[in-house]
Amino acid sequence: MDPHQPLSIRRFDARDTDAVVALWREVFPEYRNPDKPHRDPHRSIANKLATQPELFFVAEHGGEIVGTAMAGYDGHRGWLYSLAVSPSLRRLRIGTRLVAHAEQALTALGCPKVNLQVLEDRPEVLGFYAALGYRADAVVSLGKRLGMPETA
């Protein structure tokens, strides 16, 4: 990363769509899996732009989108999704800054606790969140599709 170029974290803009989709397809295997057509990054972005778009953040460096974080607050808990950092720019605290930015935005809304889910096959991500103070809750995560294609 060029130390002379600042890293900025800002709200997602529709003009970032192509860059964010490219980053997600690189970082999240499900977004490039032809067996999972319901995992459509464009639909995920469109849905987020319709619901709390102010909680969708990108990290920008040298004119490039190098990270994303998506948050939501339902009035009881906050949630964090789609945290991604460009593979070539890992371990430079970009993920830490994205999470801190999302946490600050949730705190400003009065959110008392943020939850997130980590896929079982990504144990290294648990190391990242542990470094940021996240601890496993004694819960089993359940889910159910509601008659519409999965979008997130």
Ligand X SMILES: CC(C)(COP(=O)(O)OP(=O)(O)OC[C@H]1O[C@@H](n2cnc3c(N)ncnc32)[C@H](O)[C@@H]1OP(=O)(O)O)[C@@H](O)C(=O)NCCC(=O)NCCS
Instruction: List the beta strands (DSSP E) in the chain.
Output: 7-11, 56-61, 64-73, 78-85, 114-115
CA distance 19 to 21: 6
Per-residue DSSP letter, 34 = T
Nearer to ligand X, 120 or 147 (CB): 120
Q: Note whether 118 binds ligand X by CB under 6 A.
A: yes
Instruction: Indicate the helix (H) or strand (E) that contains 20.
Output: helix 17-27
114 near ligand X (CB under 6 A): no
Residue in 93, 109, 115, 149 binding ligand X, rule: CB under 6 A: 93
Query: Is 100 one of the binding residues for ligand X (CB under 6 A)?
Result: no
Which residue is at the shortest CB distance from ligand X?
A: 95
Give me the residues that bind ligand X (CB under 6 A), please: 27, 83-85, 90-96, 118, 122, 124-125, 127-128, 131
